[in-house]
């Protein structure tokens, strides 16, 4: 079983990102469980979403405390909260950032990857310059680095889930998928 935690801010589509990933994984006959932090969300405040992935039915309905990997949708959260809380040794920290992985001071027991999903989202006219919607780029990165699904499955899931600018979102996911190849 793989457990992933997403950190974002309300309004960035973090919960939708976990749902798109779940859709893509389910197409390839995986069992998935995706859920938002149990509570109330506010635009701009830190939000968390989780996903469990397995080849067998998932019976554990408790929350995820020790994820295999974490995904940081909003880079400002790295300063605000401990995104590595409970993260298993050897796990990936995948960050939406224009910095290089070495510019972050994480312990060496974790692997760090950065992709500028914000730039990809803005270039593909997703959201506004002030509030870009980066979730489709993010799932492209996560899919590639963690080797979770084929790009085709992801693009189908993006198309099914998003009714506004579906082609731009697919392009963003594909571009992010390609860029993340640097880490594979």
Partner 1 sequence: MKKVIMGNHALSYGAMLARSQVIAAYPITPQTQVVELLSEMCADGTLDAKFIKVESEHSAMAACIGASAAGARAFTATSAQGLALMHEMLHWAAGERVPVVMGNVNRAMAPGWTIWADQNDSLSQRDTGWMQYYCASNQEVVDTVLQAFKVSEALSIPSMVILDAFALSHTYEVVDIPEAAKVDAYLPPFRPLYKLTPSDPRAFGGLTSPEHYMELRYKLQKDMEKAPALIEATGREFEKIFGRYLGLVDPYLCEDAEIILVTSGTAGYTARVAVDAMRAAGTKVGNLRIKVFRPFPFEAVRKYTAAAKKIAVVDRNISYGHHGIFSQELKSAVYGHADGKPVFGFIAGLGGRDITPASFKEVVDYAIAHEQPEAEIVWIGAKI
Residues forming contacts to partner 1 in the complex (CB under 8 A) are 18-19, 22-23, 26, 31-36, 38-40, 58-63, 65
- Complex with partner 1: residue 30 or 124, whichever CB lies closer: 30
Contact 48, 6 (CB under 8 A): yes
- Complex with partner 1: residue 61 or 100, whichever CB lies closer: 61
Percent helix, strand, coil in the chain (nearest 5)?
A: 40, 20, 40
**From the CB of 56, what's the least distance to partner 1, in Å?**
11
Helices 151-161 & 135-146 angle (0-180, nearest 10): 160
- Complex with partner 1: residue 24 or 126, whichever CB lies closer: 24
**From the CB of 59, what's the least distance to partner 1, in Å?**
4
- Round to whole Å and give the CA distance between 102 and 83: 16
**From the CB of 65, what's the least distance to partner 1, in Å?**
8
- Complex with partner 1: residue 62 or 163, whichever CB lies closer: 62
- Round to whole Å and give the CA distance between 69 and 4: 5
**From the CB of 32, what's the least distance to partner 1, in Å?**
6
**How far is residue 120 from each of residues 133, 159, 171, measured CA to CA in Å?**
10, 17, 9
């Amino acid at each position: 079983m793989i457990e992933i935690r997403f950190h974002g801010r309300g309004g960035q589509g973090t919960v939708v990102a976990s749902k798109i990933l779940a859709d893509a994984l389910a197409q390839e006959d995986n069992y998935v469980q995706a859920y938002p932090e149990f509570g109330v969300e506010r635009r701009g405040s830190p939000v968390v979403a989780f996903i469990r992935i397995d080849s067998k039915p998932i019976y554990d309905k408790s929350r995820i405390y020790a994820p295999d990997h974490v995904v940081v949708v909003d880079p400002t959260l790295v300063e605000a909260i401990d995104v590595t809380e409970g993260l298993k040794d050897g796990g990936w920290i995948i960050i939406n950032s224009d910095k290089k992985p070495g510019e972050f001071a994480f312990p060496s027991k974790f692997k760090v990857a950065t992709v500028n999903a914000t730039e990809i989202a803005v270039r593909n006219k997703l959201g506004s310059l002030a509030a870009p919607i980066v979730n489709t780029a993010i799932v492209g990165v996560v899919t590639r680095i963690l080797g979770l699904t084929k790009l085709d499955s992801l693009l189908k899931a993006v198309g099914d889930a998003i009714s506004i600018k579906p082609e731009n979102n697919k392009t963003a996911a594909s571009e992010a998928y390609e860029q993340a190849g640097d880490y594979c």
